[in-house]
Amino acid sequence: MGTVPQRLQRLLDRPGPLGDLLGRLEARTGIRRLYLATGSAAFLGLYLVFGYGASLLCNLIGFAYPAYVSIKAIESSNKEDDTTWLTYWVVYGVFNVAEFFSDIFLYWFPFYYAGKCLFLLWCMAPISWNGSQVLYQNVIRPCFLRHHQTVDSVLGNLSSRALDMASSVTREASRAALNLAREPEKSK
């Protein structure tokens, strides 16, 4: 298992986009990966607390990497990664809707964007207690299972009403167009 720095060092040494980037930076600068990663994380954290545009940076972190790996998941033949990232996007969407209504109060808190960023990182983390899985299984799924028949019924009624309205508007528009076309004939 090892200490936290040892586990972090093993994570940073793994091949992959992060490990490769840190390897190139380590070779160019001579600074160990662990220091590069912790320094970057500290800078990012401070920027999220004090920096201009923290909201944009936080939203980019919550969107850019998940969008990239979602596209890779779509292109792969593995279904498990599709489910993982679909779950993330469901939680991300629910969070964004909830944030829309509470953002006017929450963004005044000094560590709001740092906390939001940590929340989004937890939701995309490749761990067994991933935030997306925890929230989906314990909050969103039970709520969905309890209410999905009602929502399906309401959506079905709305779609049939929309079709009826579109049909009646089309009929009325056709009649109006025919009447307009006949008017010049009557005046002759």
Give the pLDDT of residue 91.
94
Residue 125: count other Cβ atoms within 10 Å of its Cβ.
13
Between the CA of residue 133 and those of 14, 120, 129, 179, what are the distances in Å?
24, 12, 7, 60
Report the C-alpha gap between 47 and 55 in whole angstroms.
10
126 and 69 Cβ atoms separated by less than 8 Å? no
Give the pLDDT of residue 20.
80
Report the C-alpha gap between 85 and 98 in whole angstroms.
20
Please list, in sequence order, all residues whose beta carbon lies within 8 angstroms of the beta carbon of residue 121, skipping any fewer than 6 positions away: 61
Give the pLDDT of residue 127.
81
Residue listed under structure tokens 């309890």: 146
Give the pLDDT of residue 123.
93
26 and 33 Cβ atoms separated by less than 8 Å? yes
Q: What is the CA radius of gyration of the chain?
A: 26
Q: Specify whether the backbone of 109 is left (phi greater than 0), alpha (psi in -120 to 50) or beta.
A: beta
Instruction: Kindly list the averaged pLDDT for each block of 10 residues, start to end, along the chain of length 188.
Output: 74 76 86 85 82 83 90 89 91 91 78 88 87 93 89 84 85 83 67
Give the pLDDT of residue 67.
93
Between the CA of residue 97 and those of 80, 89, 101, 158, what are the distances in Å?
26, 12, 7, 22
Secondary structure letter of residue 89 according to DSSP = H
Report the C-alpha gap between 46 and 7 in whole angstroms.
24
Please list, in sequence order, all residues whose beta carbon lies within 8 angstroms of the beta carbon of residue 9, skipping any fewer than 6 positions away: 33, 34
